[in-house]
A and B are shown apart, each in its own frame.
Chain A
Amino acid sequence: MKLRLSFLWLVLVWLVFSVVALGTTTVTLAQTPNPNSITDDQVNAIAKYLYCPVCENVPLDVCGTQACEQWRQVIRQKLAEGWNEAQIRQYFVDQYGDRVLATPPPRGINWLAYIVPPVAILIGVWVLVQAFRSWKRPLPAPSSLPQPDHVSPEVLKRIEEELKNR
């Protein structure tokens, strides 16, 4: 009887340890980032706003070079680690500079990229409006035209008569 109780105790202790160990393993697994759980779409959603300096003018999501593939892998890894889009973009800016961004950050001389186009459009609209107004303005009255002063009344009378006779 005593032996059976000891055996039961051993089984109980073993069970408790097993449950605790399993629980710990589960927690450990949950904390380990798994890049395979991140889809290509999730990676490309961020990659399409990044440009690798090696492949100029080709967005990262469609770039086929090894360098770009490595960058996409970094995005996948960071997403698996729980980073958000802004953090990942900032990471790339810190590593490779502002030139990796699809749109320049609004600071310093970069402001020109944001200010010049709308100002140029506004100036263009203003020029067009001025042009349309000048086209709609009525022509000056004929009376304001300069009259020839060297034509004598006799000559004018003769011209009018000849015009009537035609």
Chain B
Amino acid sequence: MEPGSQEQAIATNSTARLGWGRVLAWLAIIALLVILGAGLLRSQQGSVNVGQRIPDFPLTTFDGQTIHTADLRGKILVINFWASWCKPCEQEAADLEAAWRFYQARGDVVFLGVDYVDTEPEARAYLEKFEITYPNGPDLGTRISQAFRIRGVPETYIVDQDGILQFVQIGPFRSLSQIKSVIDPLLQP
């Protein structure tokens, strides 16, 4: 090969390398932007909306019983997020328990308490203090609260027999009659 054509070949090779480098750099930047965008979209999403199917989850109660919400289709589901350190949760604790006792005999309304970012001794003391008897369990790894994208506690989600969210209460319920006014219309005759 002549010296001139050799130089030309080297120049062509280096240009090709530079081209591939640029392509890879752009791909890396685009991939990073896609990941960042997906993360931003996820963080911007609000909580589960009324009319949407709720994310199913297993809840292991403080008694060691595991309840799968998917197994509760056909029943009305009242999911209450609470914590022992949450003062507003105390305002509605007695009303929720009263509502549970009111519907318990029917068998078609299930109450679940999800204990958010709490410590077990204090959570147990809270349940004892308010004589709460419906199933309650810790939100291990905050998976349930993240799936529902809750904004804080207390929050209560009322789900119909098909697993569709029908009502969201942000903050505490004000009275037993308020809880009943949401559940009663969902009951099948």
Contact = CB atoms under 8 A, between A and B. Distances in A.
Nearest to B38: A109
B122 interface: yes
A70 interface: yes
A97 B116 CA distance: 12
B83 A67 contact: yes
A74 B117 contact: no
A97 B143 CA distance: 8
B118 to A, nearest CB: 7
A95 B141 contact: yes
A109 B35 contact: yes
B23 interface: no
A99 B118 CA distance: 15
B137 interface: no
B119 A74 contact: yes
A94 B35 contact: no
A134 B142 CA distance: 54
B85 interface: yes
Most buried by A among B32, B83, B117, B122: B117
Contacts of B143: 97
Interface in A42-82: 52-54, 65-67, 70-71, 73-74
B78 to A, nearest CB: 23
B140 interface: yes
B138 interface: yes
Contacts of A14: none
A112 interface: yes
Most buried by B among A66, A70, A71, A93: A70
A17 interface: no
A96 interface: yes
B119 A73 contact: yes
Nearest to B140: A95
Interface of A: 52-54, 65-67, 70-71, 73-74, 93-97, 99, 109, 112, 116
Query: 10 tightest CB-CB pairs across the interface, nearest first?
Result: A66-B85, A97-B141, A67-B85, A70-B119, A97-B142, A74-B119, A53-B117, A70-B122, A54-B117, A96-B142
14 contacts: A52-B117, A53-B117, A54-B117, A67-B118, A70-B85, A70-B122, A94-B140, A95-B140, A95-B141, A96-B117, A96-B141, A96-B142, A97-B143, A112-B35
